[in-house]
Amino acid sequence: MTTATTQRVFETAADLLAAIQPATGGREIFDPATGELVGRAPEHTAADLEAAVNAAREAQPGWAALGHEERSAYLNRAADAVEASAEALAELLSREQGKPLNGPNARFEVGACAAWLRATASFELEPEVLVDDDGGRAELHYRPLGVVGAIGPWNWPMMIGVWQLAPALRMGNTVVMKPSSSTPLSVLALVHALNTALPDGVLHVFSGDRTVGNLLVEHPGIAKIMFTGSTAAGKAIIRNSADTVKRLTMELGGNDAGIVLPDADPRAIAQDLFWGAFINTGQTCAALKRLYVHEDIYEDVVTALTETAKAMPMGIGLDENNVLGPLQNKNQFDIVANLVQAAKDSGARIVLGGNPEEGQPGYFYPTTLIADINNDNPLVAEEQFGPALPIVKYSSVDEAIHMANALEVGLGASVWSSDKDKAREVAARIQAGTVWINKHGAVDPRIPFGGAKQSGYGLEFGVEGLKHLGQPHVISY
C-alpha cells in the first residue's frame, strides 16, 4: 500500500484551513468565544459518502493483509504526524471548539491523540486457546469487520475521533468518519494530518448534517458504527442501523455522581473535585455532574470548592492565561442557563456564579456552584453538560448510593474518602461503567471504558476495546 501524501508540518491553523477548506462555498464556522469566522467546512453529499465508503471497502483487504505489526507501525507514524503539527491543531481546535490552549484543554487534547495512537499500537492481541486437551483444541481469533463508521461529538472532537479510528485501523478495518456539524474543521484537519502518514484509502472523513450522518448509519457497506453523543441520538442510531444488523459501540450520555464520604479531607480533594466536574468547562460525558456530600463536612466541601473555582480564569481560548472557555454553542448555553434558573426558582443557594454577563460576545457561562438543592431538581436529574455543579447534602451512605443509582444512566461515578477500603465498598454498589476513587473521569488507554444502563454499551480502550472492533472467529479441531 502507498502513503497518500508526503508527511508535512503544518505551522499554523491557517495552514491547516488552507488544506481542508473548499475552494468556494461551504458552511461558515464561528468561534464560540468571539463570534469571529474560523473557516468554512465542506458540505458533503450522499454521493461523497458513497465514494468514501466504496474507497474504504476497496482499501480494506490490503490494509488487513498487512498484519498487526505493520498496521501498528503506521499508527506510530500517524502519531508522529500529529505531534509534528500539534500547535497548529491545538490553535484550530481552540478557535472552533472554544476550549483554551492551556490546562486540560486544546494542547492536552492534541497530545492525547498522539498518546492514544501509540498506546493502541502497543497492545498485543494473540489468539486465545479455549480448549486444548485429548478432545481437541479450540482457538478464538479476531478478524477485521470491514468498514467502520465513526460518528463523533463536538466536545472532544479530535481526541474522541482518535479513540474511534485508532483501534478500528489497528484491527484491520478501514474507517469513514462523520464529525459533529458544530466542530467539523478540527476533525477534517486531524484526518488530513493523519493521512500524510497513513496508506491511501484507509481513513476518510466527510462533513455534513444529520441527514448525511443517517446515510452512514443505514449504509449496507458499513459493518460497524462507533458513536459518542447523547442517549437520544444513540437510540436513533440503534433504530436506523437495525435493518443492516450493524455492530455498535455506543458511548452515550451520562450524569455522573460523586459521593464524598464523611472521612474525606475537603481541602485535599477540592482541586480534583473541581477538575472532575469542570474539565472542558463541564462539557465532558464522564464529568462529575452531581456531587453528594455528607452533612458532617458539607459546608467545608462547599467552601473549599468555591475557593478553588474562584482561582480558575475563564475567557478566550487563545489567551494563554485562561483554563476555562465558553460553551461550544448557543443551544448548550441555553440548556445550562435554563437549568440554573430552575435551581434558583426552587430556592437553591447559588454559592458562585449563576449570572452570565449580557451583551458580551461568546457563549460564556460563569463557573457556578449550587448548594442546598433537592435531588429531584432538574439541575440534578438532567445532564447539564456545562459549568454548573449541584451539591446535594446526604445523611447516610445508603441514602447517597440510592440517589446516585436512581437515574437511568451510568457512565461513570466516583467515591471520595481517606479510607480506600471503605471507598471500594461503596464503589462496588454504584451502577456505572467505571467508578473512580479520589478522582473522576481519569480515562486511560489501557483500561476498558463503557457505560451502564442507558449510557450505552460496548467497550473502548485496551485489548478489550480492540476485540470490540473485530469479528470473533473460533477455529476448533
Estimate to the nearest angstrom the gap between the alpha carbon of 13 and the chain centroid: 22
Q: Is 4's pLDDT higher than 70?
A: no
Catalytic residue of the set 83, 113, 285, 383:
285
- Would you state the cell numbers that stand for residue 263, as one nine-digit string? 472521612
pLDDT confidence bin for 8, thresholds 50/70/90: confident
Per-residue model confidence (pLDDT) at position 477: 95
- Would you state the cell numbers that stand for residue 459, as one nine-digit string? 467497550
Give the tens place of pLDDT for each residue, 331-372.
Answer: 999 999 999 999 999 999 999 999 998 888 999 999 999 999
CB burial string 129-159: b at 16+ within 10 A, e below: eeeeeeeeeebeebebbbbbbbbbbbbbbbb
* β-strand pairing of 388-394 with 412-416: unpaired
Per-residue model confidence (pLDDT) at position 359: 81
Per-residue model confidence (pLDDT) at position 5: 55
Task: Determine the average pLDDT of the residues in 374-388.
Answer: 98
Mean pLDDT of the chain: 97
Per-residue model confidence (pLDDT) at position 2: 67
pLDDT confidence bin for 75, thresholds 50/70/90: very high
The position carrying cell 460518528 is: 151
Distance in angstroms (rounded) separating the CA atoms of residues 319 and 34: 12
pLDDT confidence bin for 390, thresholds 50/70/90: very high
Give the tens place of pLDDT for each residue, 84-106.
Answer: 999 999 999 999 999 999 999 99
Q: What is the pTM of this model?
A: 0.96
The reply to whether 113 belongs to the active site is no
pLDDT confidence bin for 6, thresholds 50/70/90: low
Distance in angstroms (rounded) separating the CA atoms of residues 385 and 381: 12
Q: Is 40's pLDDT higher than 90?
A: yes
Q: Is 3's pLDDT higher than 70?
A: no
Share of the chain above pLDDT 90, in %: 96
| H or E element in which residue 388 lies | strand 388-394
Q: Is 405's pLDDT higher than 60?
A: yes
DSSP 311-364: TS-B--TTSTT-SB---SSHHHHHHHHHHHHHHHHTT-EEEE---PPTT-SS--
* β-strand pairing of 388-394 with 224-228: unpaired
Task: Determine the average pLDDT of the residues in 65-78.
Answer: 98
pLDDT confidence bin for 383, thresholds 50/70/90: very high
Task: Determine the average pLDDT of the residues in 265-272.
Answer: 98
Task: Determine the average pLDDT of the residues in 297-310.
Answer: 98
Catalytic residue of the set 251, 307, 382, 464:
251
E-strand ranges in 92-135 read 128-133
Give the tens place of pLDDT for each residue, 317-326.
Answer: 999 999 999 9
Contact of 274 with 440, CB cutoff 8 Å:
no
Per-residue model confidence (pLDDT) at position 423: 98
